[in-house]
Amino acid sequence: MTRFAAPIAEQIWDMKYRFKEADGTPIDVTVEDSWRRIARDLAKVEKDPQAWEQTFYNALEDFKFLPAGRITAGAGTARSVTLFNCFVMGTIPDSMGGIFEMLKEAALTMQQGGGIGYDFSTIRPKGAGVKGVAADASGPLSFMDVWDAMCRTIMSAGSRRGAMMATMRCDHPDIEEFITAKSDAARLRMFNVSVLVTDAFMDAVKADGSWDLVFDGTVYKTVEARDLWNGIMKSTYDYAEPGVIFIDRINAANNLNYCETIAATNPCGEQPLPPYGACLLGSINLARLVTQPFEDAAKLDEAALTELVATAVRMMDNVVDASRFPLDAQAREAQAKRRIGLGVTGLADALLMLGLRYGSDDAAAQTESWLKSIARASYLASVDLAKEKGAFPLFDAEGYLASGTMQMMDADVRDAIAAHGIRNALLTSIAPTGTISLYAGNVSSGIEPVFAYAYTRKVLQKDGSRTEEEVVDYAVQMWRDKFGDSELPDYFVNAQTLAPGDHVKMQAAAQKWVDSSISKTINCPEDISFDAFKDVYMQAWDTGCKGCTTYRPNAVTGSVLTVAEEKPAEAPVLANNDAEPMQPHGDVIYMAEPLDRPSALEGNTYKVKWPDSEHALYITINDLVIGGHRRPFEVFINSKNMEHFAWTVALTRMISAVFRRGGDVSFVVEELKAVFDPRGGAWMQGKYIPSILAAIGGVIEQHMIQIGFIEGEGMGLKSDPQAEVVGLDTPRGKACSSCGSFEMRMIEGCMTCAACGFSKCG
């Protein structure tokens, strides 16, 4: 018997979290081994490690407590990776040397697997004078481009690309350029961007007043506040960015506002953090705590919840001591405040099991009640830890209890903190849980509604055959197990059928008892009017949210909610005069297992001579034959130029690793061809090639065309096949850069793949 509720859960574990030797040999034979590995590692700092190891194991068992992916994959492996998910980097100095020192720190942090946030408001605006140099400043946007290029070259731990958040104050002179930067699809692709909106600005918007754009005490421009607000709204209406962060509200509520000021967040926005701030994440799986689901007596086991929260807080507190940190400044900051971010997943499923419609007043009230229970249990558990191990070093009772969050806390909790201190400065956060929710049996993500009741994913087997497996929402599967294929009750709703206001209502209900913030997407229909769209953000402000992220499908953001029209079957395309039709490249979604390498492969070697380079590159691409068709399997890049050695080896290993996972790997071509060299490209065979990496992408593309893997130049990942979806209108998304499937969805403020769990936000 397996502990996994669905095949996809076991596949996610094997691909993301299972501890393996360097050659892929499993060390964790079963998921129980993974739980034991994590429990043992987090218990080693305890006075009685064996006793706590078993307590921790019991919390992890059956996916009740879900530490974030960094912890699940890294704890107990002795790998040099951080177990923290979220970092906000140091304040960027307004000097060339300081800026590039910050760039170096960002690269080191992402190299170990951390997502980072930066506030670019501290860099002088474009056109400002530079003392001692006869030139004007290029502005923060130009330096964001440099960060973006750096991020493209970094693959963080677990084969994830780095993720970054850039923020800018609403009164910075370059704010208008900032809010429209993502209108260029090729610019800032590695960034999420958000505007730091102040209380004063919102007051000016509501009063239809003017607004000064200021830097270092100098007013550069005065605009109408409502015009600037409309500009922010128009950009996010069209391009899904920038997000909005209500920064004064965040600082007023912050338990630590007596000793820190926040100006940035992590990539998904659920962790507002000070300079060098770091936070680790974990989630209580509410779907596993409901007793007698779908019956009149259905309820969440509050006693089990309280006990589980206390154990989770202790485990996460231990991570502060067990984790490595990319920078000493991050380690000092984490030790001084011992921040943790305990959240939930499976909320929507738990509500369904109680017969509550997500977005209803009853569901919002129940959500608020559950989140208050978690907050109380978290704070009281942290007080108990303070009695045993001491309060966090920067604890000051008067300042701490005066914060906005603590003023609304129950009197008994405040009294306990005043008497004994508290171990962790902040304790709760609602983080993205896309991957771990799949791992836990496809429970609903975070506090999001169910996205799809079920969908079909195609899986390529080693012998070249294709199988299909249905991926069913956890609560829907429980309903089927209990009642068969009877029609789902009308309280089963999903992200597409909800009004935007219902999304906001649920976010506000949860935010009341979350001391950090919340990662959530408010889905809006494509035909929502601009005025109605703006009202969503005003509702978020008026109801106490700390930020707002929306997603409106369109030609730019992706037609996630488009319904497929019936089309006649098309004749199969023949490749290279093959006797058999070439399979549509988008048909393959995910490999059941990585492909094995035979002793001999067919291949070709290509020579690339980059202008102004003394030595040529030699690119060898070897292919595997599956089902009578060749597909790229590995790449080797060689050059006598030793300056190329490190990056060509890295590129060789990464591309080959992607090829061996199978599926539609033509996205590699598109990614490489999109890389530009800030020093300039070159003309080759009558075409402008923006970088040597783009030239390599072109060679791989021509090889794929030659073997019939793609139909022609520029046709990698161009078609948009759709998965069969059960129970709602067919959702579809952009292609996943990890597995090639078309199951990318905007969930919890981040593009996330439902097929493999990949998240743009790391």
Q: How far, CA to CA in Å, does 77 sit from each of 27, 257, 279, 673?
A: 10, 36, 20, 36
Q: Which residue from 494, 154, 114, 159 is spatially nearest to 268, judged by alpha carbons?
A: 114
Whether 201 and 212 have beta carbons less than 8 Å apart is answered as no
Least confident span in 184-188, 411-415, 449-453, 476-480: 184-188
Residue 417: phi and psi, rounded to 5, are: -65, -40
> What letter would DSSP give residue 415?
H
* Residues 159/657, Cβ–Cβ less than 8 Å: yes
Range of the domain at 674: 573-706
Asked if residue 315 has pLDDT above 90, the reply is yes
pTM of the complete model? 0.79
Asked if 266 is an active-site residue, the reply is: yes
**Distance between CA atoms of residues 732 and 163, nearest Å:** 23
Looking up tokens 């040597």 gives 692
Nearest to 340 by CA among 275, 392, 269: 392
Q: How confident is the model at residue 133 (pLDDT cuts 50, 70, 90)?
A: low
Question: How far is the C-alpha of 673 from the C-alpha of 687, rounded, in Å?
Answer: 12
Assess contact for 392 and 422: CB atoms under 8 A. yes
What number is the average pLDDT over the span 423-449? 94
Q: Tell me the average pLDDT across 495-510.
A: 93
Q: What pLDDT does 174 receive?
A: 98
5-19, 326-340, 602-616 — most confident range: 326-340
Q: What is the pLDDT of residue 561?
A: 33
Amino acid code (one letter) for 449? P
In a domain, 389, yes or no: no
Rounded Cα distance, 482 and 476, in Å = 10
* φ, ψ for residue 667, nearest 5 deg: -60, -25
pLDDT-derived band at 224 (thresholds 50, 70, 90) equals very high
Q: Is the pLDDT of residue 234 over 80?
A: yes
What is the model's pLDDT at position 715? 67
pLDDT at 242 exceeding the cut of 90:
yes
Place of tokens 């129980």: 32
Gap between the Cα atoms of 744 and 757, Å rounded: 9
User: What mean pLDDT do residues 224-248 have?
Assistant: 96
Q: What's the whole-number average pLDDT of the chain?
A: 86
736 is catalytic: no
Choice among 170, 268, 739, 750 that is catalytic: 268
Residue 689 counted as domain residue:
yes
Say if CB 13 and CB 34 are below 8 A apart: yes
The answer to whether position 755 is within a domain reads no
Mutual angle of helices 31-43 and 49-60, in 10-degree steps: 140
> Catalytic residue among 266, 442, 523, 622, which?
266
- pLDDT tens column, 695-737: 999 899 999 988 888 877 776 653 333 333 444 444 445 666 5
Query: Could you tell me if residue 582 is inside a domain?
Result: yes
Q: Residue 590: what pLDDT?
A: 44
Tokens of residue 288, six digits: 């596993």
Task: Classify residue 711: in a domain, yes or no.
Answer: no
**Element (DSSP H or E) covering residue 621:** strand 617-626
Residue 679 lies in a domain: yes
Rounded (10°) CA dihedral 234, 235, 237, 239: 160
pLDDT confidence of residue 161: 52
Determine whether 756 is an active site residue. no
Mean pLDDT of 281-292: 97
Lowest mean pLDDT among 206-220, 224-238, 587-601, 647-661: 587-601
pLDDT score of 159 more than 70: no
- Could you report the per-residue pLDDT of 34-83, keeping only the tens digit for each? 999 999 999 999 999 999 999 999 999 999 999 998 899 999 998 877 88
The angle at the Cα of 105, spanning 102 to 106, to the nearest 5 degrees, equals: 90
- Active-site residue (options: 260, 270, 671, 701): 270
Q: Report which of residues 734 and 510 the model is more confident about.
A: 510
- Alpha-carbon span 674 to 432, nearest angstrom: 28
Nearest Cα residue to 329 out of 399, 274, 250: 274
Taken in order 15, 21, 24, 26, is the CA torsion positive or negative? Answer: negative
Stretch among 147-156, 285-294, 307-316, 423-432 having the lowest mean pLDDT: 147-156
The residues pairing with 67 across neighbouring beta strands, listed in sequence order, are 282
Number of domains in the chain: 1
Mean pLDDT, residues 304-320: 98
Exposure pattern of 121-130 as b/e (b: 16+ CB <10 Å)? bbbbbbebee
Nearest to 363 by CA among 444, 474, 473, 481: 444
Tally the C-alpha atoms within 13 A of residue 758's C-alpha that lie toward its C-beta. Answer: 22
Cis peptide before 242 (omega within 30 of 0): yes
Domain assignment of residue 611, yes or no: yes
Cα–Cα distance for residue pair 251/257, rounded to 1 Å = 6
